[in-house]
Structure 1
Amino acid sequence: MSSPHRTKLTAKGAATRRRIVEGAAAEIRARGAAATTLDDIRARTATSKSQIFHYFPGGKEELLYAVAAREADRVLQDQEPHLSDLSTWQSWRDWRDAVVLRYRHQGVDCPLGVLVTELGRTTPAAQALTGRLIEQWQQALRTGIRRMQDGGAIDRRLDADRTAAALVAAVQGGVVILMSTGGITHLEAALDTTLSLLRRSTPPPAT
């Protein structure tokens, strides 16, 4: 697919591009990615076809990528402010609750999953988008674990990166089951069990 639009935009241009992306996201949520046409997006956003192609020269595929990137950012934004401040056990609990609340509201419809499927899960663009999301998510969790280690709440011998990866996998596994069954029990169980094991990883007593 064409690369995302990288031309330096004016404030007005950036606002127009953002309006097109947000309008496209709303249209896709209402109709689905496959059923949404550029004319639907143009009508919703009150823009011309030339404007859409100005900001997205690759057409619908490039616009879908921009919407998918927006949805990926929302995955992390919905976990804030807790994800950026995992320095106490209470903040970890608050993060857990924010994750569960996000996916309870989302239910079985995952806009990001639909968009990545539409782009082709094995395409470089889709893989890069998913990889970036996972990397940013894992990095934030890794930072939180290291803060807890620095504060003496978690054993320094624990591999922070692998533990962060396990937490992301726990969430994603629970979300996959949620999307298949409509039930959030497995997501809650995965998070609660993983965090319980993390909390038991206390430093050894001083000798």
Structure 2
Amino acid sequence: MDPQVQNLTATLTPKGAATRDRIVAGAAAEIRDRGVTLTTLDDIRARTNTSKSQLFHYFPGGKEQLLLAVAQHEAQQVLADQQPHLGALNSWAAWQRWRDAVVDRYRRQGQSCPLSMLMSEIGRTTPGAQAVTTTLMRQWHDEIADGIRNMQAQAKISARVDAGASSAALLAGIQGGVGILLATGDLSYLEHALDVGIEALRTAQ
């Protein structure tokens, strides 16, 4: 999390945190409906029934800070959409359910990716944007790696498999498939990346 955002949220009361979360969720919904460039702070205030002073209380940095919070929200949604399967990769049936959840998520999303649009608006190379992406990838990678270790503990995946490297390769395949989906609308690359990656884990010696 961006240090500025982390410092602000750490000082909020439970009621204040709930209000901030409501504003972020409303802003995310507005951006999904209208797009980043067409969404104004007035649109967000109207959607969330928030006064101007209240909005700037929670986001003193204005729209840029709010967009960063929305990007964090969307990044966490990527992981939430894969649960409970991503957190319970303890059988091959569970891996298949996770695979199907990932494919279904991106099938529903299609070629319009809120997180990508937000990152383009914020600037992918800014520290805040990089922190959002780094946190998302680390959490996603670690959950896949935990799943591999769970299967190794049951002797369902070879102990020779490097859980960290294998989860990185599988995640890279997913991201590549998603990139092709966004560029072409073709979901099959993502499906193949998951299927081949999981099959490699099953057959590793």
- TM range, smaller chain: over 0.9
Correspondence 1:161-172 to 2 at 5 A: 161-172=164-175
What is aligned with 1:135? 138
Paired amino acid for 1:160: A
Contact 1:3–1:62 (CA under 8 A) maintained in structure 2: no
Deviation at 1:139, TM superposition (A): 0.3
Mean Cα deviation higher: 29-38 or 59-68: 29-38
What is aligned with 1:29? 32
What is aligned with 2:163? 160
Contact 2:103–2:190 (CA under 8 A) maintained in structure 1: yes
The counterpart of 1:53, out of the listed 53, 56, 72, is 56
In 1, the alpha carbon distance for the partners of 2:73 and 2:113 equals 13
Deviation at 1:2, TM superposition (A): 8.3
Paired amino acid for 1:67: V
In 2, the alpha carbon distance for the partners of 1:198 and 1:80 equals 21
Could you tell me which runs of 5 or more consecutive residues in structure 2 were left unpaired when the two chains were aligned. none
Deviation at 1:197, TM superposition (A): 1.1
What's the Cα RMSD here?
Answer: 1.3
The counterpart of 1:15, out of the listed 18, 22, 28, is 18
In 1, the alpha carbon distance for the partners of 2:103 and 2:9 equals 35
Paired amino acid for 1:111: P
Q: TM-score, normalised on structure 1?
A: 0.94
What is aligned with 2:43? 40
What is aligned with 2:112? 109
Q: How many residues align?
A: 202
Mean Cα deviation higher: 3-12 or 170-179: 3-12
In 2, the alpha carbon distance for the partners of 1:177 and 1:113 equals 13
The counterpart of 1:85, out of the listed 81, 84, 88, is 88
Paired amino acid for 1:184: L
Q: Which has the larger radius of gyration?
A: 1
Using the aligned pairs only, state the percent identity.
58
Could you tell me which runs of 5 or more consecutive residues in structure 1 were left unpaired when the two chains were aligned. 203-207
What is aligned with 1:205? none
Query: Which digits, 9 at most, give the CA deviation of each residue in 1:167-195, with x for residues without a partner?
Result: 11111111001001111111101111111
Name the CA shift for 1:198/1:2 in 2 (closer, same or farther; >3 Å).
closer
> Equivalent residue of 2:39, what SS?
coil
In 2, the alpha carbon distance for the partners of 1:84 and 1:23 equals 27
Paired amino acid for 1:106: Q
